Amino acid sequence: MADSMDEAPDSASIVHRQFDTDQDDPATAVAEAVADLEGCESTDLATMYEHVDHVIDHLFSNPPSPEAQIQVEFSYEGYRIAIDQDGAARFVRVD
């Protein structure tokens, strides 16, 4: 999982990550990324199931054609997270 950080015009930090779309449990990878950003263990966070059920799993396991350019966006643990069907993700701290 690669990451980078950009500064938005309003000084909000945007962290970019690239997820492997072939992984077994992408929701766990998202929780682990948030835990990394927060400096805690993923077990200290709310479960992803409560927030997005298996939406990310379906985005990667049964992806639509690349031309669809599907993106899932949701809030989790103080971040607004957007994940594209190619595994590109953006994390923006919202509180």
* pLDDT tens per residue, range 19-61: 998 888 888 999 999 999 999 999 999 988 877 878 888 888 8
Beta bridge partners of 89: 17, 83
Count of CA atoms in the C-beta half-sphere (13 A) of 26: 25
Q: Three-state SS for 15?
A: strand
pTM of whole model > 0.85? no
